Structure 1
């Protein structure tokens, strides 16, 4: 099962941005969304092409004194397969990456 949590977030922030995050300060949430509910200003056309009709979006949020960080990992709701990751800093997308590994299971 694909699940993105505070532990993964802490590792991502350290590796990607060299930022130390206290895992206890990270908020977590998971929601089931239909493809048409995804914010097209945040999800690129490339990411939409690999997105099935239903996704589970696992989110982690962290606020320090200067910035709000939000990382979302979308997974195929039927297969629990990770599709993509998006990182926002103060509400603006600063990083995205495709996580999908098996091309036969894109949709």
Structure 2
């Protein structure tokens, strides 16, 4: 099962950007979305091609007073297969990766 939590978030931000994250300050949530509900400004055409009709998006958010960091991991809602990861820094996409 695909699940992205505060520990995964902390490890990702530390390894990719060299930023220490206090896991206690990370907010977590999951949401079920239809493909057409994904923001085309954040989800590239390349990512949209691999997305099924419904996706489960796990996301974590952390605000270190300088920037707000948001990491989303989308998975197939039926199989839980991870599809892609997107990282935003203060609302601007800084990283994306296909996970399949």
Q: Under TM normalisation by the shorter chain, which class is it?
A: over 0.9
Structure 2 unpaired stretches of 5+? none
Which structure 1 residue ranges, 5 or more long, are not aligned?
101-107
- Secondary structure, in 3 states, of the residue corresponding to 2:7? helix
Per-residue displacement from partner, 1:6-55 (whole Å, max 9, x unpaired)? Answer: 01000000110011100000000000000000000000000000000000
1:65 is displaced (CA, Å) by 1.5
Q: Which residue of 1 aligns with 2:60?
A: 60
TM-score (norm 1): 0.92
| RMSD between superposed Cα atoms in Å | 0.4
Q: Look up the match of 1:71.
A: 71
- CA-CA distance at 1:83 after TM superposition: 0.2
Could you list the structure 1 runs, at least 4 aligned residues long, displaced by more than 2 angstroms after superposition. none
Paired positions, count: 100
- Aligned ranges 1:65-104 → 2 under 5 Å: 65-100=65-100
Alignment of 1:1-107 (within 5 A): 1-100=1-100
**Could you state the TM-score of these two structures normalised by the residue count of structure 2?**
0.99
Note the C-alpha offset of 1:68. Answer: 0.3
Partner Cα distance (1:2, 1:71) in 2: 14
Whole-angstrom CA distance in 2 between matches of 1:83 and 1:44: 13
Instruction: Please give the secondary structure, in 1, of the residue aligned with 2:95.
Output: strand
Return the alpha-carbon distance in structure 1 between the equivalents of residues 70 and 6 of structure 2.
Answer: 11
Q: How big is each residue's C-alpha offset from its partner over 1:75-99, in whole Å with a ceiling of 9 and x where there is no partner?
A: 0000001000000000010100000
